Structure 1
Amino acid sequence: MGENGSLLVQALVDSEGRFLDVSAGWPGSNKPEDVLKRSKIFSGLRIQRSDSCYPLLPWLLTPFNDKHNELSSSEMAFNEVHHSGMELVRTAFTKVKKRWKLVGKKWKEQCIEAFPFVIVSCCLLHNFLIKCSEVLPEENGEGCRGSEFPVFDGEDNENGKRIRDALASHLSRVSQRT
């Protein structure tokens, strides 16, 4: 258990809101980048997007840091697309929390070791319900509100920077045409 009694869950979600990978049960005191480095997804699957609490790598693209409001139009375009991708994750978790309310409740200490299995099971059931075209709870933004991610303060990878810059430039050109 973390300092605030929370457990971290890391997930990869596709464009339909299905969970492709879930790693649950990390103490809330862990940093997101430490959870990533110890997860199966880090050594196996190469993901395309991430939140800014993770390091920028060639296969893990994080948003541009906007701490001084000095982003170019291409960097802002990239961040907008990135934000849309992160909304898919938030929406998927919101739906899981709405359908299975026990996920969002405080658990008794003696039950806490089952929590990661319950989370993964709920995510798998969520995927199954999507596949069966079941109606999911309506999204209204509740559930994951207030779960802001810390900003990664480590060193960015140079190849990651070049890839992100090229993608941002491409997105800027595409958005100017439309």
Structure 2
Amino acid sequence: DGFAAMGFPNCGGAIDGTHIPVLGPAHQGSQYINRKGYFSMVLQALVDHKGRFTNINVGWPGKVHDARVFRNSGLFRRLQEGIYFPDQKITVGDVEMPIVILGDPAYPLMPWLMKPYTGALDTEKELFNYQLSKCRMVVECAFGR
């Protein structure tokens, strides 16, 4: 399995948002100006280890932060209710682990969403962040295709 080979055997996908350029709308145009200064809509996607899109949420104005888009998505609700990966767990050693998704620091830390450590990091946390980043690159590459 792809994510397992990269150090995350219980990973069900990587999530991120990107901005799709749009023409400035006649009403509420300022809501569509993103942090880089152009009109856009947010596209949030979850991809599998091969970069295939497994969930897409699009339509939020460019000014809206990734975390807000995520918290208001159907994906968030299904993950929170435990129905997106129903009854899927793996056992590593003697520990049963739930399926999780991987996000960047913009996303909220949840029992089913892992994100990088921040602040002063020891070697173990740096290694964790490196492996998480390698796995997350699949979503960045999917947006770049």
TM-score by length of 1: 0.49
- The answer for the alignment partner of 2:132 in structure 1 is 82
Residue 81 of structure 2 is aligned to residue 51 of structure 1: no
Residue 48 (structure 1) shift: 1.9
Please, which of 62, 66, 70 is the counterpart of residue 28 of structure 1?
62
Please, which of 14, 23, 39 is the counterpart of residue 5 of structure 1?
39
Instruction: Give runs of aligned pairs for residues 117-128 of structure 1, distance below 5 A.
Output: none
Distance in 2, matches of 1:57 and 1:29, equals 24
- The answer for the alignment partner of 1:147 in structure 2 is none
Distance in 1, matches of 2:46 and 2:112, equals 13
Which stretches of structure 1, 4 residues or longer, exceed 3 Å deviation after superposition? none
- The answer for the alignment partner of 1:39 in structure 2 is 73
Distance in 2, matches of 1:85 and 1:28, equals 26
1:107-149 Cα offsets, whole Å, 9 max, x none, are xxxxxxxxxxxxxxxxxxxxxxxxxxxxxxxxxxxxxxxxxxx
Greater strand fraction, Structure 1 or Structure 2 = 2
Gaps of 5+ in 2: 1-30, 79-83, 86-99
RMSD: 1.4
Greater helix fraction, Structure 1 or Structure 2 = 1
| Paired residues, number | 92
Distance in 1, matches of 2:135 and 2:58, equals 20
